[in-house]
Amino acid sequence: MRIRGENGFTMIELLIVVVIIGIIAGLAVPNFAGAIQKIRWRSSATDITKALRLARSSAIAKNAQFGVQVDFENRRVVVFKDLSSPASFNFDEQNDSIVTSDTIDANVDEIYSSFSSGAVCFFPNGRASESGFFYGHRYSETNYQMYNISVLAATGRATIDYMEN
Protein backbone atom coordinates (compact mmCIF):
# COMPACT_ATOMS: atom_id res chain seq x y z
CA MET A 1 0.00 0.00 0.00
CA ARG A 2 1.35 3.39 -0.98
CA ILE A 3 1.44 6.34 1.29
CA ARG A 4 0.81 9.69 -0.31
CA GLY A 5 3.99 11.57 -1.15
CA GLU A 6 6.30 8.52 -1.50
CA ASN A 7 7.86 8.02 -4.92
CA GLY A 8 9.14 4.76 -6.40
CA PHE A 9 8.03 1.42 -7.74
CA THR A 10 6.43 -1.47 -5.94
CA MET A 11 8.08 -4.88 -5.88
CA ILE A 12 5.36 -6.29 -8.17
CA GLU A 13 6.04 -3.61 -10.79
CA LEU A 14 9.77 -4.36 -10.72
CA LEU A 15 9.16 -8.10 -11.06
CA ILE A 16 6.88 -7.58 -14.06
CA VAL A 17 9.56 -5.48 -15.80
CA VAL A 18 12.25 -8.11 -15.08
CA VAL A 19 10.01 -10.91 -16.47
CA ILE A 20 9.28 -8.92 -19.64
CA ILE A 21 13.00 -8.24 -20.19
CA GLY A 22 13.74 -11.94 -19.65
CA ILE A 23 11.15 -12.99 -22.24
CA ILE A 24 12.50 -10.54 -24.82
CA ALA A 25 16.09 -11.66 -24.18
CA GLY A 26 15.05 -15.32 -24.51
CA LEU A 27 13.54 -14.63 -27.92
CA ALA A 28 16.59 -12.72 -29.15
CA VAL A 29 19.27 -15.32 -28.29
CA PRO A 30 18.42 -17.86 -31.06
CA ASN A 31 18.38 -15.09 -33.67
CA PHE A 32 21.73 -13.83 -32.42
CA ALA A 33 23.34 -17.29 -32.76
CA GLY A 34 22.04 -17.62 -36.33
CA ALA A 35 23.35 -14.18 -37.20
CA ILE A 36 26.84 -15.10 -35.98
CA GLN A 37 26.88 -18.24 -38.17
CA LYS A 38 25.72 -16.20 -41.16
CA ILE A 39 28.47 -13.63 -40.60
CA ARG A 40 31.13 -16.35 -40.38
CA TRP A 41 29.83 -18.01 -43.53
CA ARG A 42 29.81 -14.74 -45.45
CA SER A 43 33.34 -13.98 -44.25
CA SER A 44 34.63 -17.03 -46.15
CA ALA A 45 33.34 -15.51 -49.40
CA THR A 46 34.88 -12.18 -48.48
CA ASP A 47 38.22 -13.86 -47.72
CA ILE A 48 38.32 -15.53 -51.15
CA THR A 49 37.40 -12.26 -52.86
CA LYS A 50 40.10 -10.39 -50.91
CA ALA A 51 42.63 -13.04 -52.00
CA LEU A 52 41.60 -12.57 -55.65
CA ARG A 53 41.90 -8.81 -55.37
CA LEU A 54 45.28 -9.07 -53.62
CA ALA A 55 46.62 -11.34 -56.37
CA ARG A 56 45.40 -8.97 -59.09
CA SER A 57 46.84 -5.90 -57.33
CA SER A 58 50.16 -7.67 -56.73
CA ALA A 59 50.38 -8.69 -60.38
CA ILE A 60 49.89 -5.10 -61.50
CA ALA A 61 52.17 -3.54 -58.86
CA LYS A 62 55.03 -6.02 -59.19
CA ASN A 63 54.72 -6.65 -62.93
CA ALA A 64 54.60 -10.43 -62.39
CA GLN A 65 52.04 -13.22 -62.56
CA PHE A 66 50.17 -13.99 -59.30
CA GLY A 67 47.41 -16.49 -58.68
CA VAL A 68 44.83 -17.83 -56.23
CA GLN A 69 44.27 -21.49 -55.42
CA VAL A 70 41.21 -22.51 -53.37
CA ASP A 71 42.00 -25.92 -51.88
CA PHE A 72 38.81 -27.16 -50.20
CA GLU A 73 40.26 -30.54 -49.18
CA ASN A 74 42.85 -28.78 -46.99
CA ARG A 75 40.40 -25.90 -46.30
CA ARG A 76 42.69 -23.09 -47.41
CA VAL A 77 42.97 -20.20 -49.86
CA VAL A 78 46.48 -19.52 -51.17
CA VAL A 79 47.73 -16.42 -52.95
CA PHE A 80 50.95 -17.25 -54.79
CA LYS A 81 53.52 -15.76 -57.14
CA ASP A 82 53.58 -18.04 -60.17
CA LEU A 83 57.27 -18.91 -60.63
CA SER A 84 57.42 -22.55 -61.70
CA SER A 85 55.40 -22.65 -64.93
CA PRO A 86 53.49 -19.46 -65.65
CA ALA A 87 51.90 -20.86 -68.81
CA SER A 88 50.12 -23.67 -66.94
CA PHE A 89 48.21 -21.34 -64.55
CA ASN A 90 48.41 -23.73 -61.60
CA PHE A 91 49.86 -23.71 -58.10
CA ASP A 92 53.03 -25.71 -57.45
CA GLU A 93 53.57 -25.70 -53.69
CA GLN A 94 57.23 -26.72 -54.03
CA ASN A 95 58.30 -24.05 -56.54
CA ASP A 96 55.82 -21.15 -56.37
CA SER A 97 56.17 -18.44 -53.75
CA ILE A 98 53.27 -18.30 -51.26
CA VAL A 99 52.19 -14.73 -50.52
CA THR A 100 49.36 -15.55 -48.07
CA SER A 101 47.47 -18.63 -46.96
CA ASP A 102 44.14 -18.42 -45.13
CA THR A 103 41.84 -21.13 -43.83
CA ILE A 104 38.29 -21.67 -45.06
CA ASP A 105 35.70 -21.44 -42.28
CA ALA A 106 34.07 -24.66 -41.08
CA ASN A 107 30.62 -23.19 -41.85
CA VAL A 108 31.23 -23.75 -45.58
CA ASP A 109 30.12 -27.23 -46.62
CA GLU A 110 31.70 -27.25 -50.09
CA ILE A 111 33.44 -25.00 -52.59
CA TYR A 112 33.55 -25.70 -56.31
CA SER A 113 35.77 -24.05 -58.89
CA SER A 114 35.14 -23.73 -62.61
CA PHE A 115 38.77 -22.84 -63.35
CA SER A 116 40.45 -25.55 -65.43
CA SER A 117 43.49 -25.92 -63.17
CA GLY A 118 41.65 -25.11 -59.95
CA ALA A 119 43.53 -21.82 -59.78
CA VAL A 120 43.14 -18.45 -61.44
CA CYS A 121 46.16 -16.34 -62.34
CA PHE A 122 46.44 -12.61 -62.93
CA PHE A 123 48.76 -10.97 -65.44
CA PRO A 124 50.67 -7.68 -65.00
CA ASN A 125 48.00 -5.90 -67.09
CA GLY A 126 45.31 -6.93 -64.56
CA ARG A 127 43.63 -9.54 -66.74
CA ALA A 128 42.86 -13.03 -65.50
CA SER A 129 43.96 -16.33 -67.05
CA GLU A 130 40.31 -17.26 -67.68
CA SER A 131 36.78 -16.34 -66.69
CA GLY A 132 35.17 -18.53 -64.07
CA PHE A 133 33.79 -18.76 -60.57
CA PHE A 134 34.15 -20.18 -57.09
CA TYR A 135 30.85 -21.47 -55.77
CA GLY A 136 30.38 -22.14 -52.06
CA HIS A 137 27.36 -23.38 -50.14
CA ARG A 138 26.17 -24.54 -46.76
CA TYR A 139 23.10 -26.23 -45.42
CA SER A 140 21.51 -25.21 -42.14
CA GLU A 141 18.44 -26.38 -40.26
CA THR A 142 16.31 -23.64 -41.74
CA ASN A 143 17.70 -22.87 -45.19
CA TYR A 144 20.28 -23.35 -47.92
CA GLN A 145 22.82 -20.58 -48.52
CA MET A 146 25.27 -20.16 -51.36
CA TYR A 147 27.62 -17.64 -52.83
CA ASN A 148 29.14 -17.23 -56.24
CA ILE A 149 32.43 -15.38 -56.68
CA SER A 150 32.94 -14.67 -60.35
CA VAL A 151 36.11 -13.51 -62.11
CA LEU A 152 36.00 -11.89 -65.53
CA ALA A 153 39.07 -12.66 -67.66
CA ALA A 154 39.02 -9.40 -69.65
CA THR A 155 39.29 -7.17 -66.57
CA GLY A 156 40.26 -9.54 -63.74
CA ARG A 157 37.43 -8.15 -61.59
CA ALA A 158 36.05 -10.38 -58.83
CA THR A 159 32.47 -9.98 -57.59
CA ILE A 160 30.39 -11.81 -54.96
CA ASP A 161 26.72 -12.75 -55.25
CA TYR A 162 24.93 -14.12 -52.16
CA MET A 163 21.80 -16.22 -52.43
CA GLU A 164 19.60 -17.73 -49.73
CA ASN A 165 16.67 -20.05 -49.86
Domain boundaries, given as residue ranges, for the chain: 11-164
Domain 11-164 has what CATH class? alpha beta
For the entire predicted model, the pTM comes to 0.76
Give tens-digit pLDDT for 48-64: 999 999 999 999 999 99
- Per-residue pLDDT tens for 17-37? 999 998 887 776 666 767 777
Q: CA 65 → CA 32, 90, 93, 120, 130, distances in Å?
A: 43, 11, 15, 10, 13
CA distance 164 to 117: 29
